[in-house]
Amino acid sequence: MAINLIPQRAFSNDDMATDTFTATAGQTVFTLSRSATLNGILVHVNDVIQQPTADYTLSTVTLTFNSGLTVGDDVRVRIMTERPLGSAGGASGATTLGALNDVSSASPSSGQVLKWSGTQWAPAADATGGGGGGGGIALSDLSIGSEGTPSGNGLIAYNNSTGVFSYTPAT
């Protein structure tokens, strides 16, 4: 088996599932928790990365080593998820929003954009109104409060509750 020592802690589990096994004497076959592809897994035996085809083969959920393992060998198989973080996923060649994963099939209205609802991308009003910029905050939304007592280098403060700016000039 190939010698490629990389500590397993160097890999994040945020975008992959990990199956862990303890080998029996001469064991060659392991059943994964989900289907995978040969290039979609990373296999370690006792922290040594194994090479596809040279060290093992894969058929859907059945991982088969080319030679028997030793009793107690730590086998870890990292299965890359079907939709890693940041991936839209969906049907190959999708031509509509509804054909994508996590995207609402509801038709948007004029001025709406796709926004994340916490569970899916869905049509919602654009903060800028009809596109092209503008909107958001108007000058009438701002006001200046009464001056505070002057001290130090001065101060400008904003009250999130009232929307009022307060200015204290420098001394």
Residue 114 and residue 156 share a domain: no
Which residue in 120, 119, 160, 128 sits closest to 142, CA to CA?
160
- The tally of domains found in the chain comes to 3
Residue 75 and residue 109 share a domain: no
Per the prediction, the chain carries an average pLDDT of 77
121 occurs within a structural domain: yes
> What are the Cα distances from residue 96, in Å, to 56, 82, 104?
40, 20, 10
Residue 69 and residue 18 share a domain: yes
Contact 137, 116 (CB under 8 A): no
147 occurs within a structural domain: yes
2 occurs within a structural domain: no
> What are the Cα distances from residue 51, in Å, to 3, 14, 30?
9, 23, 16
Residue 38 and residue 76 share a domain: yes
Does residue 79 have a pLDDT over 80?
yes
Grade residue 7 by pLDDT with cuts at 50, 70 and 90: low
Residue 150 and residue 113 share a domain: no
Residue 113 and residue 52 share a domain: no
Residue 90, SS3? coil
163 occurs within a structural domain: yes
Chain segment 121-133, per-residue pLDDT in tens: 888 887 654 445 5
Contact 53, 38 (CB under 8 A): yes
Stronger pLDDT, 87 or 137, i.e. the higher one: 137
Does residue 162 have a pLDDT over 70?
yes
Residue 153 and residue 126 share a domain: no
Which residue range is the domain that position 56 belongs to?
Answer: 8-80
Give the pLDDT score at 129.
Answer: 47
Q: What is the pTM of this model?
A: 0.44
Mean local confidence (pLDDT), 35-46: 91
Strands (E), 60-163: 62-65, 74-80, 112-116, 121-125, 143-144, 155-159
Q: How many other C-beta atoms lie within 10 A of the C-beta of residue 11?
A: 15
Residue 48 and residue 112 share a domain: no
Stronger pLDDT, 1 or 151, i.e. the higher one: 151
Give the pLDDT score at 22.
Answer: 97
Residue 48 and residue 106 share a domain: no
28 occurs within a structural domain: yes
Grade residue 16 by pLDDT with cuts at 50, 70 and 90: confident
Residue 93 and residue 66 share a domain: no
Residue 155 and residue 121 share a domain: no
72 occurs within a structural domain: yes
Which residue in 81, 50, 82, 78 sits closest to 66, CA to CA?
50
